Structure 1
Amino acid sequence: MKKLLLLIALLFLNISLGQKIATTYYFIRHAEKVDNSQNPDLSTSGLERAALWNKIFSEVSFDKIYSTEYRRTIQTASPTATAQNIQIKLYNPKNITIESFKKETLGKKVLIVGHSNTTPKFVNQMINQNIFTDIEDGTFGNLYIVIIIEGEITFQLLKLP
């Protein structure tokens, strides 16, 4: 049922908004990793989750996909990037200039894959509020959706298992 509601929400976000310019951001944390080393690969569960994200996002036509330079984030983004024939663009969350990023992605549908601490911080910067805290260590199903239509910002957090 949760998956159905998520798909309905994602489809709703893809409805044409007439002449207004809409930018939609989908933020996720990387999937489960093999271990706690500095740059681990995804675990079997993580690879399954990355495939699930691809299935969930199959109705969203992304224009851009961003990932940090770590294996786990790239591997999380890869199934969706491959399915949609989009090259993953690497970003450093420490060096993001929010206004430049918004200009670069204006009018686009964008997937951003980050980490337990960088993803909520990035979302907070995009919405100009300090609402979201770091993601719990064992939580990998948060989907933050931020929509900006001519300066008006709406956002939501969906929690998948």
Structure 2
Amino acid sequence: MRILIALFIVSFSWVGSAQNSQQPTTTTYFFIRHAEKDLSNPKDHNPKLTEAGKIRSKNWAKILEDTPIDYVYTTDYIRTKKTAAPIAKSKGLEMKIYNPKKLNDIDFQQNTIGKTTVVVGHSNTTPTFVNKIIGKNKYNSIDETIYGKLFIVKITGEVITDTVLIIN
């Protein structure tokens, strides 16, 4: 009986210490602006991608090829969905639509915690989204001629790191 109690206490202590020694969860975000859009019709507020944009969207999928991705979020515009589609397809994922007027809302935070997520947005919403997540007003809108910025945000416990790469 004493042996059983001792084994129970040792087992319980081991489980408790294993739970206490767990590493904090890491959440990773890859933020990109949509690829090159067709500017031939200034009245078109929902343009398609140009040929260069189609190539860039395929290249984003190649760049992230060896990265496990849990979610792909995009705004509900042709240019963002077409940019996100090759990434989602390569990972066998459905794209999730987010509202660019509700960046980093509680649903988004809860859904992506501990996950790796790609977020495709716009020249103004992408840096704003990153700023909301990092809790600083660090990044400005992306120049209209720049399509190759990749913002990487990692959150591990209370530590938040952010990096920007230019990929052309």
**Given the two structures, how large is their TM-score scaled by the length of structure 2?**
0.82
Written as runs of structure 1 = structure 2, the 5 A alignment for 1:56-95 is 56-95=63-102
Aligned pair 1:20/2:24, yes or no? yes
Residue correspondences, number: 144
Backbone CA RMSD of aligned residues: 1.2
Structure ID, larger Rg: 2
| 2:35 alignment partner, one of 24, 31, 35 | 31
What amino acid does structure 2 have at the position aligned with 1:24? Answer: T
Gaps of 5+ in 1: 1-17
Residue deviations 1:55-102 (CA, integer Å, cap 9, x gap): 000011110000000000000000010111000000011023444422
Secondary structure of residue in 2 paired with 1:66 = strand
| Alpha carbons of structure 1 residues 138 and 28: separation in structure 2 relative to 1, 3 Å | same
Instruction: Please say if 1:127 is aligned against 2:134.
Output: yes
Which secondary structure does the structure 1 equivalent of 2:151 belong to? Answer: strand
Segments of structure 2 that go 5 or more residues without pairing to the other structure are: 1-21
Partner Cα separation in structure 2 for residue 57 and residue 86 of structure 1: 14
Aligned to 2:16: none
Residue matched to 2:59: 52
Cα displacement (A) at 1:19 = 2.8
Task: Determine the structure 2 residue equivalent to 1:105.
Answer: 112
Q: Hey, what's the Cα distance between the residues in 1 that align with 2:46 and 2:29?
A: 25
Match for 1:149: what amino acid? T
Quick one: which of 151, 158, 161 aligns to 2:165? 158
8 Å CA contact 1:98, 1:126 repeated in 2: no
